Amino acid sequence: MQGPPRCGLSTIARQLAAGSPAGAVLADARLLEGRAILAAPGDQSAARPIILDNAGPSDAAELSDWAGRIRRNGGQIGLTPRFVLVGGPFDADGAIPVLEAGPFNLFEAGRASTRRLWLRGGYPEAYGAASDEAAAEWLECHAADLAYGALASSGLPREPRLIAGLLEAVAATHGDGLNENAVARALGISRPTVVRYVGLLERAGILFSVPSLPVALPSVARSTRSRALYVRDSGLLHALVGIRSPDDLAMKPGLAAASWAGFVVEQAREGLPPGVALYRYASADGAALDLVATKNGKPFLAAAARRHRPTSVERSISYAARAILGDGGSRDRLIVAPDGDGAALTGGFAVTNLGAFLDRLAGA
């Protein structure tokens, strides 16, 4: 099981150990007991699973090589010790199942907590803090920890200025394409290095991206091909851009709008049914949609996120939806707002809340 730092993986490891019917061995892969287990995995008993917390990619690679040698020598894996590694990031090559964990999402926190989850994000210490101020302080410290080496196991260098600058650059263009050349010049590194570090941040669960809609239709032929890049956790995003309270969201409407859109996209990613994929759409002449959902490769839903409930829809959004979906009704084109109530809008759109939007996706 893998996930970004401080998302509750150690708690999950303890719960797994406590819930094992036959009992389990729980050890920290960084400490003496854990290192001894990794040094001689074949010497461990197969009677109880061995859960190694804070395991890294090199630990997974060594255990994978050990299991491979057993198979090649005709051994039976079922008679050897069973390992569960918690930490990561691990290579999901199909040989070993990898489960992904992350900050709390709306399915876990409950829909009544939408505004709190949006402001504080889903890291347990921030979401459960005694106040918004305490949550903001924890998130700022967490952002500093990421820059000062918490991501070293993911392959990122211990260069605080560089990593902090990169995270802040992504946060500043949250939900848009990253100008890698400009970031490279500002940080004094090469563009390929920026691309590689962004990839490592995605692999570590700190960032995520939404690709451009790959629809070969004349009406969308002029769409841009750049992906949208987001900071995964809205609370971490707020720490990076200096938002600490609901008042700050009100004082920075541009940042708040981008933050809400990213929050909607991240929650949508968490509960997609099989066969459904998410894309962005942005044309060269300004028409844009935050999300286009496809099922088995065919677009069926277009959505834009708005921080406040709108009374009309911009012509550019209506044009984009019409280009992708043709003529249709409010079931397949939505504006997602915190307090959406289903009201009909121009262009065949309806304004809905986040919970209803997620239900629509889940029922596809």
Task: Convert the pLDDT of each residue in 197-211 to its tens digit.
Answer: 999 999 999 999 999
Buried b (16+ CB within 10 A) or exposed e, 301-333: bbbbbbbebbeebbebbbbbbbbbbeeeebebb
Give the pLDDT of residue 325: 86
Q: Does the pLDDT of residue 219 top 60, yes or no? A: no
Query: Could you count the other beta carbons within 10 Å of the beta carbon of residue 45?
Result: 8
Rg (CA), the chain: 22
Q: Which of 78-82, 138-142, 171-175 has the lowest mean pLDDT?
A: 78-82
Q: Which long-range contacts (CB under 8 A, 24 or more apart) does 259-262 make?
A: 259/118, 259/174, 259/234, 260/118, 260/305, 260/306, 260/307, 260/338, 261/175, 261/290, 261/304, 261/305, 262/174, 262/175, 262/230, 262/231, 262/234, 262/237
Tell me the residue range of the domain where 16 lies.
9-87
Q: Are residues 67 and 149 in the same domain?
A: no
Report the percentage of the chain scoring pLDDT > 70.
93
Average confidence (pLDDT) over 2-7: 92
Within this chain, do residues 120 and 32 fall inside the same structural domain, yes or no?
Answer: no
* Three-state secondary structure call for residue 43: helix
- Answer yes or no: do 40 and 187 share one domain: no
C-beta neighbour count of 145 within 10 angstroms: 14
CA distances from 125 to 110, 122, 168 (A): 17, 8, 22
Are the beta carbons of 260 and 194 closer than 8 angstroms?
no
Count CB-CB contacts under 10 A for residue 275. 10
Q: Under a CB-based contact definition with an 8 Å cutoff, are residues 194 and 216 in contact?
A: no
Alpha helices in the chain (DSSP H): 9-19, 32-39, 57-72, 106-109, 114-120, 124-127, 132-145, 160-172, 180-187, 191-203, 234-241, 246-251, 253-270, 315-325, 354-362
C-alpha dihedral, 1 to 229 to 170 to 271, nearest 10°: -40
Q: Report the 10 Å Cβ neighbour count for 20.
A: 15
Percent of the chain with pLDDT over 90: 65
Q: What is the mean pLDDT of residues 150-174?
A: 95
Residues 246, 349 within the same domain: yes
Q: Given a cut of 70, is residue 78 above it in pLDDT?
A: no
Examine the domain organization and report whether 208 and 130 are in the same domain. Answer: yes
The answer to the question of residue 297 being in a domain is yes
Phi, psi of 89 (to 5 degrees): -75, 145
Residue 353, pLDDT above cutoff 60: yes
pLDDT at 328: 63
Place of tokens 């400490």: 31
The verdict on 79 and 136 lying in the same domain is no
Same domain, 209 and 323: yes
Whether 99 has a pLDDT exceeding 90, the answer reads no
Q: Report d(CA 243, CA 165) in Å as an integer.
A: 17
Partners of residue 93 on adjacent β-strands: none
Instruction: Look at 297 and 106; give whichever has higher pLDDT.
Output: 106
Least confident segment among 171-185, 192-206, 317-331: 317-331
122 within 8 A of 149, measured Cβ to Cβ: no
The dihedral formed by the CA atoms of 123, 127, 128 and 129, expressed in degrees to the nearest 10: 100
pLDDT > 80? residue 359: yes
Let me know whether 47 and 177 are in one domain: no
Q: What is the mean predicted confidence (pLDDT) over 93-110? A: 85
Is 236 within a domain?
yes
Count the domains in the chain: 2
Based on the domain organization, do 117 and 45 belong to the same domain? no
pLDDT at 231: 98
Asked if residue 92 is part of any domain, the answer here is no
Is 97 within the bounds of a domain?
no
325 found inside a domain: yes
Residues 130 and 221 in one domain: yes
Which of 87, 119, 145 is the last residue before a domain boundary? 87
What's the pLDDT score for residue 216?
A: 58
The pLDDT of residue 268 is 96
Q: Kindly report, residue by residue over 6-58, the tens digit of the pLDDT.
A: 999 999 999 999 998 888 999 999 999 999 999 999 898 888 999 999 999 89
Residue type, 356: A
Residues 350 and 306 occupy one common structural domain: yes
Residue 213's region, left for phi above 0, alpha for psi from -120 to 50, else beta, is beta
User: What value does the mean pLDDT of the chain take?
Assistant: 90
254 with 313, same domain: the answer is yes
pLDDT value of position 80: 80
Gap between the Cα atoms of 124 and 103, Å rounded: 7
Residue 100 lies in a domain: no
Residue 4, in any domain of the structure: no
Is the separation of the CB atoms in 142 and 251 below 8 Å? no
User: Rounded to an integer, what distance in angstroms lies between the CA atom of residue 135 and that of residue 130?
Assistant: 8
Q: Model confidence over 267-318: pLDDT tens digits?
A: 999 989 999 999 998 876 667 899 999 998 889 999 999 999 898 888 888 8
Query: Per the domain annotation, does 95 fall within a domain?
Result: no
Which position has the higher pLDDT, 332 or 223? 332
Q: Which of 5, 296, 30, 207 is nearest to 124 (CA)?
A: 5
Task: Flag whether pLDDT at 247 surpasses 70.
Answer: yes
pLDDT at 218: 46
